[in-house]
């Protein structure tokens, strides 16, 4: 029989003790933390709560995160205006100003080109100045306004009006979204998101 005995003063034993100590300290911190699990249907506000916690407790969003959200917001603009233009005829409505027919066609063509979940470079190519000019034109048309008023008959993201009203700001290549813009942005999430932050609790409540 072969027996191996580790010397208590060996580097391996010391590393093991240090690791156990770190794990013990980590478990103490883990046990003290309050854990919340948010579960709900799509667009029920789970991601919005995470954004709010980030703004309130982690000093908001970095410049890199804002750039990502700016693209997300532009996707929201595209989805919103394409959905409205598609349902204009479906609801038996038409543009109040027939001269905007070319703008309507351009918006629908952009929607077809960016169908599904287009890569960022294609999205930026399609969402050019002509696109935003057409968006601004059709959004101000009474026919599209009437379509928006009947949104209960079809699925439209809840931030549609918020961002379509701001299209002249969003079209700026240097567009830098505000915290409110980010809170209003929408993106379908299928992964698990995690956020950690510290909150000061009064001593009378055990803090």
Residues making up the annotated binding site for Mg(2+) are 47, 189
CB 84 within 8 A of CB 111: no
Residues making up the annotated binding site are 43-48, 183-189
The overall average pLDDT reported for the chain is 82
pLDDT of residue 24: 77
Q: What digits encode the pLDDT tens for the residues 64-108?
A: 888 889 999 999 999 999 999 999 999 999 999 999 999 999 999
Please, what are the domains in the chain?
A: 46-184 (1.10.400.10)
Residues making up the annotated binding site for GTP are 43-48, 183-189
Q: What digits encode the pLDDT tens for the residues 110-119?
A: 999 987 778 8
């Amino acid at each position: 029989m072969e027996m191996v005995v580790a010397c208590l003063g060996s580097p391996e034993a010391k590393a093991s003790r240090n690791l156990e100590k770190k794990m013990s300290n980590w478990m103490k911190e883990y046990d003290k933390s309050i854990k919340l699990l948010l579960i709900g249907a799509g667009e029920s506000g789970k991601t919005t709560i995470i954004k709010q916690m980030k703004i309130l407790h982690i000093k908001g969003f970095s410049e890199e995160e804002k750039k990502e959200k700016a693209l997300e917001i532009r996707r929201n603009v595209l989805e919103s205006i394409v959905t409205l233009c598609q349902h204009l005829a479906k609801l038996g409505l038409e543009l109040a100003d027939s001269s905007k027919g070319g703008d309507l066609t351009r918006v629908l063509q952009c929607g077809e080109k960016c169908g599904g979940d287009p890569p960022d470079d294609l999205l930026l190519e399609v969402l050019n100045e002509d696109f935003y000019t057409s968006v601004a034109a059709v959004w101000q048309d009474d026919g599209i306004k009437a379509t928006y008023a009947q949104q209960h008959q079809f699925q439209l993201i809840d931030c549609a009006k918020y961002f379509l009203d701001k299209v002249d700001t969003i079209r700026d290549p240097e567009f830098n979204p505000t915290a409110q813009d980010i809170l209003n942005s929408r993106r379908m999430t299928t992964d698990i998101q995690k956020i950690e932050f510290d909150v000061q609790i009064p001593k009378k409540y055990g803090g």
